[in-house]
Amino acid sequence: VVNLGMPSRSVITTCAYCGVGCSFKAELRGDELVRMVPYKNGDANEGHSCVKGRFAFGYATHPDRKLNPMVRDTIDDEWREVDWDTAIGYVADKMRELQARYGVGAVGGITSSRCTNEEVYVVQKMVRAAFGNNNVDTCARVCHSPTGYGLKQTFGTSAGTQDFRSVAKADVIVVIGANPTDAHPVFASRMKRRLREGAKLIVVDPRRIDLIRSPHIEASHHLQLKPGANVAVINAMAHVVVTEGLVDRSFVDDRCEEFDAWAEFIASPENSPEVTEPITGVPAEELRAAARLYATGGNGAIYYGLGVTEHSQGSTMVMGLANLAMATGNIGREGVGVNPLRGQNNVQGSCDMGSFPHELSGYRHISDDAVRGVFEDLWGRSLEPEPGLRIPNMFDAAVAGTFRGLFVQGEDIAQSDPNTQHVTAALSAMELVVVQDLFLNETAKYAHVFLPGTSFLEKDGTFTNAERRINRVRPVMAPRSGKHEWEVACEIATAMGYPMTYAHPREIMDEIAALTPTFAGVSFAKLDKLGSVQWPCNDAAPEGTPTMHVDTFVRGKGRFVPTPFVPTSERSTRRFPLILTTGRILSQYNVGAQTRRTGNVAWHPEDVLEIHPHDAEERGITTGDEVTLTSRVGETTLHAVISDRMPVGVVYTTFHHPVTGANVVTTENSDWATNCPEYKVTAVQVGLRTSA
Ligand code: SF4
């Protein structure tokens, strides 16, 4: 509900939805939040906003919020409210008890990309220093972990190469597996402005997204590939670049290594557009024309989303994008680059903060003795050199009986992670599930302890957006639960025998800066003075770094990596003849825990299944019919919408509502390098629902 009364004061803060990271002026009358006004000096949004950031903040004061800690001995018991000390003592005692019985590695934690850098940092520190293992992972596991792997292998660090402003200098914009109009609307506006000025657009997507034809914009090419064929498409584009003499030789010779082996691989006829056309579904001449445009059309900028990463070859595809950009010299200046469009407000930050089980903050491997030594000296605790468990490994170990306790920070894994039945079996098998969240979400159904979290309006800290921009998040109201989220992890660690105390989140950022070379120059004082900075921010770049890899890559030379196409094992069959792929819609956000509790729900009251007219007619389905969606792992029910946005044989849905629960049907398949789930390819059958 938006109250339009006159405000008496305002606070500049950052939107808690997508990775654009828009700045807002939160206007209050007394202690009441009156409205959110996009902040005209915001570096990421320049005064613009979308319907989520502007209107969907009412969840913070929604009556569904749980404001008291709760405990129960089994998930069949009723919750009983307890005070904070009791809840924290319960968690600490139980974690220690489980470790005494099953071993140090029997417990772990998951950090949230919705929380601040400081809140994420203290949870990963709690796991490594107090739990004494590296069983910490982030919800980025299920979205952009292949970005982390792929860009590190090729460029040397796990982040987008450009700032958003850079798109104004792009001549050819390539959008792959992303739908910025819905998922990153404010950045999409910048992109559209450049396209209306005359930049060319290439879209690679199985679905006909709005950007392809919007007012005064017409994509030059829509490569409507078959789901799962990403790597074959990018290899074919690179094949055209190499075999038609379109390589930027001076860039490659000066700046890169391992080109010859890659070029030999990519020039193989099996990567040609003609040979791969039956695999990709993209006409060879169309693909050749798109590759020539990207290579010769001036500054070429690649923007990609989860349609790249959430595949069995997600990491391979990220490296394929990097190869293509390096081969054409499209790295290291404004208007070019390889840029992941991050889904959540702080995906970049949660990865930067050392939430992966194999990496400390700043993407440094836990096995590196020198790096680990710096942390050990400051933290006063020796650290395990071996990487810990990833989220899917935790689930497997829980089902196998060796992983018994989990701390979940602000993530609804029972709804968001694939193959829901396996996730809930894992949660049910554990003896301690701790959920820190705003609401009793789907995961909380399996929890023994509920710890109230704080909304972004109660947080004091920083988020890092998709362009590596660190923005301040300033409190608009005091924590409604009476405790800051960062204090909770500190108190659990302290109760477990590892004292962790900070007087204010600025001290946590100071510690992050002391331990992380790319954050060495970051402080709350600097952020308050400059508005924001993009990392790396250190002595070499005291005001931050808008464009990366300008003279050298972070790893020295950019590295070409051969990217053989390996088809996913998920194929359509007679029983499951269609392929399901999933995505997002403008008014909603991820599992909908926030937006469903705002007026935005009126724009999208349920998830629906888009099905091509041909496939619908074969099944006797018309728009509005209730249909069953079945895969080899599960079944759900939705209403159908006939649409030719998808090609024949492909159906599409969103995952914002737990009632339909699209992840009931997604499978256990995942990226070979990072275990990022293959949300984008599921063999399914669709049928009219018959009443019992
Ligand atoms: Fe928030 Fe993203 Fe919308 Fe900006 S574009 S207002 S960050 S949801």
Whole-number pLDDT of residue 344: 83
- CATH number for the region 70-143+346-453+481-516 comes to 3.40.50.740
Q: Please report the pLDDT score of residue 20 as a whole number.
A: 94
Give the position of tokens 């099905």. 611
pLDDT at 464: 97
For residue 5, the model assigns a pLDDT of 59
Maximum separation of any 2 CA atoms in the chain, in Å: 70
CA of 186 to the centre of ligand 1 (A): 6
pTM of the model: 0.92
- Dist. CA 411–CA 355, nearest whole Å: 14
Nearest C-alpha neighbor of 313 from the set 583, 562, 111: 562
**How far, in Å, CA of 393 to CA of 549, rounded?**
34
Asked if residues 463 and 473 have their Cβ atoms less than 8 Å apart, the reply is yes
Instruction: Domain 578-688: state its class.
Output: mainly beta
Cis status, amide bond into 7, omega within 30 of 0? no
Cβ–Cβ < 8 Å for 416, 142: yes
Measure the CA–CA gap between 547 and 252, rounded to whole angstroms. Answer: 19
Which tokens is 24 given?
Answer: 């807002």
Alpha carbons within 13 A on the beta-carbon side of 199? 27
Q: Which atom of ligand 1 is nearest to the CA of 45?
A: 4
User: Cβ of 482: how many Cβ atoms within 10 Å?
Assistant: 13
Measured between its terminal Cα atoms, the distance across the chain in Å is 40
- Ligand 1 neighbour 209 (Cβ under 6 A): no
Contact 26, 11 (CB under 8 A): yes
Name the β-bridge partners of 337. Answer: 301
The answer to whether 411 and 438 have CB atoms below 8 angstroms apart is: no
Mean pLDDT along residues 104-118: 96
Q: Which residue has a Cα nearest atom 1 of ligand 1?
A: 53
Mutate which of 17, 24, 345, 656 for ligand 1? The one with the most ligand atoms within 8 Å of its CB, which is 17
Q: Is the confidence at residue 62, as pLDDT, over 60?
A: yes
Residue 676, CB half-sphere, CA atoms under 13 Å: how many?
31
Tokens coding 341: 């469009």
- In short, whether 186's Cβ falls inside 6 Å of ligand 1 is yes
For the chain, domain boundaries:
9-61, 70-143+346-453+481-516, 145-341, 578-688
Block residue for tokens 């020198």: 370
SS3 state at 462? strand
Strand extents, DSSP E, 307-460: 337-340, 359-360, 364-365, 405-409, 432-437, 449-452
Tens digit of each residue's pLDDT (9 = 90 or more) over 408-465: 998 888 887 878 889 999 999 999 999 999 999 999 999 999 999 999 999 999 999 9
Ligand 1 atom 6, closest CA = 53
Per the structure block, which two tokens stand in for 532?
A: 């924001």
Cβ-based neighbour number of residue 193 at 10 Å: 12
Q: What is the 3-state secondary structure (H, E, C) of 185-246?
A: HHHHHHHHHHHHCCCEEEEECCCCCHHHEECCEECCEEECCCCCCHHHHHHHHHHHHHHCCC
Mean pLDDT of 70-93: 97
Q: Is the CB of 185 under 6 A from ligand 1?
A: yes
* CATH no., domain 145-341: 3.40.228.10
Query: Cα of 681 to ligand 1 centre, how many Å?
Result: 27
CATH classification of 9-61, choosing from 3.90.1150.200, 2.20.25.90, 2.40.50.100, 3.40.50.2300? 2.20.25.90
Contact by Cβ (8 Å): 553, 255: yes
Q: What pLDDT digit, counting tens, does each position of 307-323 carry? A: 999 999 999 999 999 99
SS3 459: coil
Model ipTM value:
0.99
By DSSP bridging, strand 217-218 and strand 221-223 are: unpaired
CA atoms within 13 A on the CB side of 638: 31
- The pLDDT value given to residue 15: 94
CA distance 551 to 180: 30
